[in-house]
Amino acid sequence: MPSLPDDKTLRERLDNVIELNGKRHMSPQVNNAWQIIHGMLAYGYALQLNDNGKLVPGIEWLFDGGQMRGWQLVPGEKGLKDVEEPGSKSGEGHDDQWLGYFAQCAVPLDAKINVRGQEFTIHEMVTQAQWDVREDMEATWTLMAFSVYLPLDSKWQARDGSEWSIERLLELECRQDLASSTCGGTHRMYGIASTLNRHLAEGGALAGIWQVADEKVKQALADAREYQQPDGGFSTNYFQRSSSSADIGLRLNTTGHVLEFVCLAATGDELRQPWVTRAATYLCGLLEETADVPVECGGLYHAVHGLMLYHLRRFGE
């Protein structure tokens, strides 16, 4: 087992890897919305795009009316609707995926979005998403967004005529099977953990659905550690069983997704434990090894985002 780096060495390596991958400038003429918005998840307002040979700030370019394949927003009954393309790897593949990722990269509620010359705000995407919630939806990204943009005690009436709340959305997510969930349930657990963290930060008690959520988060964290590989990478079968692969893209994808969740679920003391340090170090190695080759954007940017969250939790910036 390789020795662990000291804090100074680890911090410098994280900085270098994050900076290096920030220079992979995607282009709206080449790349699609699914790829570019994953880049925004990681780098937020710092993401730059190559727009016909000119570097432009990605979020500002997009919200100012920029067009790219898979980016579809239309006026809705209650605000601004993002058009889902279920299973898509060019457009929005999941309910409220764009909104969930905008929430994670600190896009404010009053951010303006130009849609075919008409001005909307992120708040209007939220009000439309509230109207559209339903019992049979994949609420993962909706919960990610609402846990940032709405008070946790919010209640509202949706299109289905029933009363909804963040607690009801959390309950819907907690009863889903992780093994059959997108990316092994890592996104689902990320949404649950981020919502729980805010509840606890606001002085909420671990009772009812909040206790269920806490137990689910703790179990997934324990499973991530149990199934971690000797090289430091997380299992290529996520929270289900121990597994590895010769496919470096798959290992980058799975370790990055699991580390994102771990960085939300772990306590400060847990985050400093050797098993988490080994995972972050391993992920740095994968990103260094693939620096000069094309890699799948979802795996790439979830990995970078995981390291950014780790950097923030471990070193405070």
CATH label of the domain that carries residue 253: 1.50.10
C-alpha dist (Å) from residue 33 to 74, 85, 157, 200, 285? 15, 12, 31, 34, 28
1 belongs to a structural domain: no
Q: What pLDDT, on a 0 to 100 scale, did the predictor assign at position 2?
A: 67
d(CA 214, CA 47): 33
Where in the sequence is the domain holding 53, given as residue range(s)?
Answer: 7-315
Domain count, the chain: 1
Residue 185 DSSP code: G
User: Domain for residue 221, yes or no?
Assistant: yes
- For 254: left if phi > 0, alpha if psi spans -120 to 50, otherwise beta; the answer is alpha
Whether residue 43 is contained in a domain is answered as yes
The answer to whether the CB of 88 falls within 8 A of the CB of 38 is no
pLDDT tens by residue, the chain, 317 residues: 668 999 999 999 999 999 999 999 999 999 999 999 999 999 999 999 999 999 999 999 999 999 999 999 999 999 999 998 887 789 988 999 999 999 999 999 999 999 999 999 999 999 999 999 999 999 999 999 999 999 999 999 999 999 999 999 999 999 999 999 999 999 999 999 999 999 999 999 999 999 999 999 999 999 999 999 999 999 999 999 999 999 999 999 999 999 999 999 999 999 999 999 999 999 999 999 999 999 999 999 999 999 999 999 999 87
CB 184 within 8 A of CB 236: no
- Cα-Cα-Cα-Cα dihedral sign, residues 258, 306, 68, 99: positive
122 within domain boundaries: yes
Please identify which residue in the block is written with the tokens 């657990």: 189
- 2: in domain: no
For residue 310, being part of any structural domain is answered with yes
Determine, yes or no, domain membership for 81: yes
* Helix, strand, or coil (residue 57): strand
Q: Are 79 and 128 in contact (CB under 8 A)?
A: yes
pLDDT score at 1: 66
Helix (H) or strand (E) holding 155: strand 155-157
Angle at 230 between CA 225 and CA 235, to 5 degrees: 50
Does 129 fall in a domain? yes
DSSP state of 228: -
In terms of pTM, does the model score above 0.85? yes
Q: How far does CA 201 lie from the centroid of its chain?
A: 20
